[in-house]
Amino acid sequence: MSSEGSAISTAEATNRAVDTPSEGEGKQSHLISSQLPAWVGGTGRVAERVVDELCAYIESNGLTSGDKLPPERVFIELLGVSRSSLREALRVLSTVGIIDVRHGDGMYVASTQPLHTTTRALFDATEQYALRNLVETRLGIELAAVTAATHRAGDEDLASLQRMLDEQRARLADDPDFAWEPLGFELAVVEISGNSWLYDVEMMLRDSWLALSSGLRASVGRHEEWLTEHRAILASMRSRNVTQAQRLVVAHLNLERFEEDLAAPRGTRKTKARK
């Protein structure tokens, strides 16, 4: 079901839910006064759509800093999304300072300026500099994450990473043009590290990667090579070899390789990547 259809079919129930808040939600929960506009364009990721629609909700209802938002269950019903997708979107908005999530009290608007541009305005305006800034920032975050994760990963954590890589290898074998969800392996490693701050920043970096043009992302995509490098990183994590895992992350995030791909004529890099 699309988010628009879900919003239309559940609008009446949603308004009733907000009119009769449960215990602890308080009287400050803002009534839904207008239907969220349908989301158009973008990458199609559910969490990204939810980020846009939450921003649209804040704007269309004239909410300002300090106003309380409805509880999660209302947005889940209104947008027709899962709790995990909603929370991923809320994590992004909380990280960039738009929403303040107060545990035990609810969600509040923290800032309304800017809204739609915030999650995509983390880097320089030119894509070349955006890519450079993104890679350099990823290096710092992912070095810290792989260090902690190598120490803390349990057997099931490592098995989960292995299943992810095995699935990606099978998909690539069937379709050489297959492209997995950006930073999926890296986010899984960060989550294993147990550091929620690192995870929040890595989520912002993932969203910033998706904000780059599809043409630029395709021009630097080396999924077969990346998969081999991810498997080597996982092998180092299994052996608890922190130094080797760090070296492999540095090699994986080789800025020169990205820049060479950008400078190479179309088609040349693809042949090289799939030798």
140 and 96 share one domain = no
| Cα–Cα distance measured from residue 253 to residue 255, given in angstroms and rounded to the nearest whole number | 6
140 and 257 share one domain = yes
102 and 195 share one domain = no
111 and 214 share one domain = no
Q: Could you list the residue range(s) of the whole structural domain that residue 209 is in?
A: 122-273
pLDDT at 68: 93
Q: Is the dihedral of CA 212, 216, 220, 223 positive or negative?
A: positive
174 and 244 share one domain = yes
CATH number, residue 216 = 1.20.120.530
141 and 260 share one domain = yes
73 and 106 share one domain = yes
Residue pointed to by tokens 């090289």: 272
Q: Which residues contact 150 (CB under 8 A, 6 or more apart)?
A: 236, 237, 240, 241, 242, 245
139 and 205 share one domain = yes
Question: Is 69 in a helix, a strand, or coil?
Answer: coil
Give the distance from CA 51 to its chain's centroid.
10
CATH number, residue 60 = 1.10.10.10
* Domain boundary pick from 101, 118, 135: 118
147 and 70 share one domain = no
222 and 126 share one domain = yes
138 and 182 share one domain = yes
* Domain boundary pick from 75, 94, 118: 118
What's the number of domains the chain is made of?
A: 2
* Domain boundary pick from 118, 147, 166: 118
Query: Please, are residues 119 and 160 in contact by the beta-carbon 8 Å criterion?
Result: no
Per-residue pLDDT of the chain (275 residues; tens, 9 = 90+): 444 444 433 344 444 444 444 444 443 434 332 333 333 233 336 777 888 888 889 888 888 888 999 999 999 998 888 888 888 788 778 766 788 888 788 899 987 655 444 444 444 434 557 778 888 999 999 999 999 999 999 999 999 999 999 999 999 999 988 888 889 999 999 999 999 899 988 988 888 887 776 666 666 778 899 999 999 999 999 999 999 999 999 999 998 888 787 776 555 544 333 32
Measured CA to CA in angstroms, residue 225 lies from 36, 63, 70, 146, 169 at distances of: 42, 47, 45, 19, 11
Q: Residue 107 forms beta bridges with which residues?
A: 101
| Cα–Cα distance measured from residue 229 to residue 168, given in angstroms and rounded to the nearest whole number | 13
Give the distance from CA 65 to its chain's centroid.
25
Burial class (CB in 10 A: 0-12, 13-18, 19+), 253: buried
163 and 209 share one domain = yes
